[in-house]
Amino acid sequence: MEETPARLAGRPSWLLTQLAVHAHRLASDGFGEVGARGYHYRILAALAEFGVASQAELGRRCNMDRSDVVAAVNELAGRGFVERTPDPDDRRRNLVTLTPAGEGQLRRMDRALDKVQEDLLEPLPAEERRTLADLLTRLLAHHRRG
């Protein structure tokens, strides 16, 4: 196994990048076990929390490119997890609604993601996990403002 240069190994930016790659792999594998992708989770979670939304609203809420939203909504609609209907106020726009089957899929994805969190954070006790989440939340909020 090759060693990481010391000037990299202790830098938070490098550590975050390496951990992000690992976390993404774990999440992709976990979602794959329930026949899903991360984009599906973002959309289903947004619909569950905020209710019916246009595809443009989903893109903004989920931080997704419009074409990725369209592709993911197509996949979810094809599996009966969402319904897409024309907006009665603007026929050029589609409204997306979570279905009962979509709620079930979201619960399966929640369980898969819970397992990912456990695997990712295994060496940390509960208090340190909360502290890490708080610190990362503060950093992200700071950089989103800037």
Question: Residues 6 or more apart from 63 whose CB is under 8 A from it?
Answer: 42
DSSP 86-100: EETTEEEEEEEEE-H
Strand partners, 54: 95
Q: What is the pTM of this model?
A: 0.89
Instruction: Residue 85: name the closest of 131, 118, 108, 52 by CA.
Output: 52
- The answer as to CATH 1.10.260.40 being correct for domain 25-145 is no
- Residue by residue, pLDDT tens for the chain (146 residues) are 678 998 899 899 999 999 999 999 999 999 999 999 999 999 999 999 999 999 999 999 999 999 999 999 999 999 999 999 998 888 889 999 999 999 999 999 999 999 999 999 999 999 999 999 999 999 999 998 87
Look at residue 15 and give its three-state secondary structure.
helix
Q: Give yes or no for a contact between 102 and 12, defined as CB atoms under 8 angstroms apart.
A: no
